Structure 1
Amino acid sequence: MEALAVRLSGLDPYVDGAIRIVGFYDTLMRRRVDLPALARASAGLAECLAGIRLHGAGRVIRVSPYGTEATTEPSPASSEVPVTLDDEEIGTVWLERPGPPGPLDEVLLDRLAIAVAAAVERYGPARTTMADPALVELAISADSDEAARARALRLLGFAPGVALTVVAVRTQLPPAAGLPLLPLDRLGVLLCPDRPVKAAPLGEVGVILATAPDPARLPDGVRAGLGEPGSPERSWRQARTALRFTTAREPALHYGELGALALLAEVPAAALRENADVTAVARLAAGPEDLETLDTYCATGSLRRAAELLHLHHSSVARRLEQIARVLEFDPTDPAGLTRARLALAARRLLGD
């Protein structure tokens, strides 16, 4: 094999350089170097700044061609390659070369990506985002004993005693116009970019375990319910409840924000359907404009603010609310009626109608 490589390198300078790069990284991998050493070696070989980013760990390493940590502002990558482990993208490697990429930059980054994946797998739990669904289910199940739950969390890479927040993500929601849904692992990285995070699908709901999720980072077209940090079993139950209350206007909800509304989730579905106010709101669904008007007014509690959101004159909204009051058989603009309308709308969301 080596004799063939030598013969090929004599025929093509590019092949010669590529073979030398492959040999260079093979040596580094045999020596079991860590990520900083890989970054330093790559920057020196490329003679430009090299970077390594791990999505789940939120770790970024940037090294100058002189082998020191880069202190300059990041420049646009001249070339970059994803790092994959077990068919999951766990990070990125790149070069910041002034001007166009070099002829061998792609080869260098391909080998660096392979070396980074090997190093991540070798040194501690892999910082991948996707996890074994069985482990995740064991961690959040009410039927798990504490010893089994602690072992599952340890295998998932979470430190003992860490306060985890469980996020329930609706994965079957149609994407927003022009915005395809991201895979569950990428949603996990977006929610918690700088801390360990694990995700797994359970039926039609995605489960994300994180220490400090930020729902404001979720893309359009995704709905998420967040439990309170603490016990994964309790947080998962709360996250599922919060997810049921989400709407297009409020696509992400913390369980704590629900307050007394969370009690509605304990009411049997049959009792909700039989309620006169819920039935009346269901009748409004035949006219989507009326339902949207009522929902917007209930969310704002203000005629003028609802008119702004609906892009209507406030008098038009007032006329709609008068018509809606006749269907509901109560006035949603007085304090008692507003409370009744809000509860009926929340109950309808719980029913999934």
Structure 2
Amino acid sequence: MEALAERLSHLDPQAGGVVRVVMFYDTLMRRRVDLSALARASAGLAECVAGIRLHGTGRTIRVAPDGRETSAPPSPASTTVPITLDEEEIGTVWLERPAPPVPLDEVLLERLAIAAAAVVERYGPARTTMADPALVELVISSGSDDGSRARALRLLGFAPDLPVHVVAVRSHLPLDRIGGLICPARPVKAAPLAEVGVILATTVDPAPLPADVRAGIGAAESPERSWQQARTALRFTTPRRPVVHHDSLGALALLAETPRDALRENTDVAAIARIAGNLEQLETLDAYCATGSQRRAADLLHLHHSSVARRLEQIGKDLGIDVVQPAGLMRATLALTAWRLLDD
């Protein structure tokens, strides 16, 4: 630090101020703060809006001197410095000072850029989300010991204190694109395993996913447990419900543990299998089970509710279940769900 301070002192006569700025950011880096904390600290130190932008994700953080992220229209940057990592420019930091830059602004931004690069290197987002499948398998395998799993996570770029969700995916889209959509600003890695794509992510937001992507999301308890949950949740996905969180399944998850032969031999499930070739009946039953209401099912199907009522009456006769009664609706819902699990 002394050598750096000496070099910076040649750029600005206020060597004492330079040293204080260097020490300020060295302290932040030792505390392993994130990008938001870096921006807050910088805005407070500079007493003006400070900004950080990462090119790869488009993520932008702008913080006012009071420590709050600001949504006000950005002012022209008074000073900017690129963020570089491995000789590649990955982003920009800047100050929005209404007055002319002060002598220490350049030093402050240089240190902010160095600190931001360190955060990106440590926590991501990594410039590529694709990972060695062998490492990913080590992370999610129930046969891995804790030491091997921790080492694999470290090699994949995950900090030891960060929770990791596992997402099981079926899609024609590239896995790296899906990973970037569900976790654009935090560590995320992906790899194909057999017929399923595996995504490891510290946070998961499925909202940006296209409708044709099927995804099961596990909790962040432990990677191996999260993987089991994600695979189970994936089995419950449907065109109407393409993304399923395992936590949302509740007792329904028990169906996934039922042997397939037992499901297949159940009379209600067998009855669903018999009508499965009639797409009109299957779609009507699916909409009714999903909504629990004839009128809402009619809205989904763009039909008059009387048409749905007539269809449900025939479906009830074919299944041998009075589906318009609460108990019958529950039986039909469970049978339809179990039948879909057989097709997985």
Q: TM-score range by the shorter chain?
A: 0.5 to 0.7
Match of 1:3 in 2: none
CA RMSD, Structure 1 to Structure 2 (Å): 3.7
Alignment of 1:281 with 2:282, yes or no, is: no
- Structure 2 residue identity aligned to 1:222: V
Tell me the TM-score normalised to structure 1 length: 0.65
Partners of 2:150 and 2:202 lie apart in 1 by 16
Match of 1:225 in 2: 216
Deviations 1:8-65 (A, max 9, x none): xxxxxxxxxxxxxxxxxxxxxxxxxxxxxxxxxxxxxxxxxxx963546x75599xxx
Q: 1:350 to 1:74 in 2, by over 3 A?
A: farther
Alignment of 1:145 with 2:136, yes or no, is: no
Partners of 2:130 and 2:183 lie apart in 1 by 13
- Structure 2 residue identity aligned to 1:167: V
Tell me the TM-score normalised to structure 2 length: 0.67
Partners of 1:208 and 1:91 lie apart in 2 by 23
Match of 1:53 in 2: 54
Q: 1:124 to 1:242 in 2, by over 3 A?
A: closer
Deviations 1:235-282 (A, max 9, x none): 000000000000011100100100000000000111111111011111
Stretches of structure 1 lacking an aligned partner (at least 5 in a row): 1-50, 63-70, 76-84, 94-118, 173-180
- Structure 1 residue identity aligned to 2:169: V
Match of 1:313 in 2: 304
Tell me if the contact between 1:227 and 1:235 (Cα under 8 Å) persists in the aligned partners: yes
What's the % identity of the aligned pairs? 66
Q: 1:147 to 1:293 in 2, by over 3 A?
A: same
Match of 2:43 in 1: none
Tell me if the contact between 1:53 and 1:61 (Cα under 8 Å) persists in the aligned partners: no
Relative contact order higher in (CA < 8 Å, ≥ 6 apart): 1
Q: 1:261 to 1:316 in 2, by over 3 A?
A: same
Match of 1:47 in 2: none
Q: Which of 181, 190, 194 is the equivalent residue of 1:190?
A: 181
Match of 1:101 in 2: none
Alignment of 1:263 with 2:254, yes or no, is: yes
Aligned length: 262
Tell me if the contact between 1:54 and 1:127 (Cα under 8 Å) persists in the aligned partners: no
Equivalent residue of 1:297, what SS?
helix
- Structure 1 residue identity aligned to 2:322: D
Tell me if the contact between 1:54 and 1:60 (Cα under 8 Å) persists in the aligned partners: no
Measure how far apart 1:161 and its partner are: 2.8
Partners of 1:352 and 1:282 lie apart in 2 by 10
Match of 2:320 in 1: 329
Equivalent residue of 2:162, what SS?
coil
> Deviation above 2 Å: which 4+ runs of structure 1?
51-56, 58-62, 71-75, 90-93, 122-128
- Structure 2 residue identity aligned to 1:164: V
Q: 1:339 to 1:61 in 2, by over 3 A?
A: closer
- Structure 1 residue identity aligned to 2:175: L
Q: 1:92 to 1:272 in 2, by over 3 A?
A: farther
Measure how far apart 1:216 and its partner are: 1.2
Equivalent residue of 2:197, what SS?
strand
- Structure 2 residue identity aligned to 1:157: G
Q: Which of 218, 227, 238 is the equivalent residue of 1:247?
A: 238
Alignment of 1:209 with 2:210, yes or no, is: no
Deviations 1:180-224 (A, max 9, x none): x3x110110100112111111111111111111011121121010
Equivalent residue of 2:316, what SS?
helix
Match of 1:352 in 2: 343
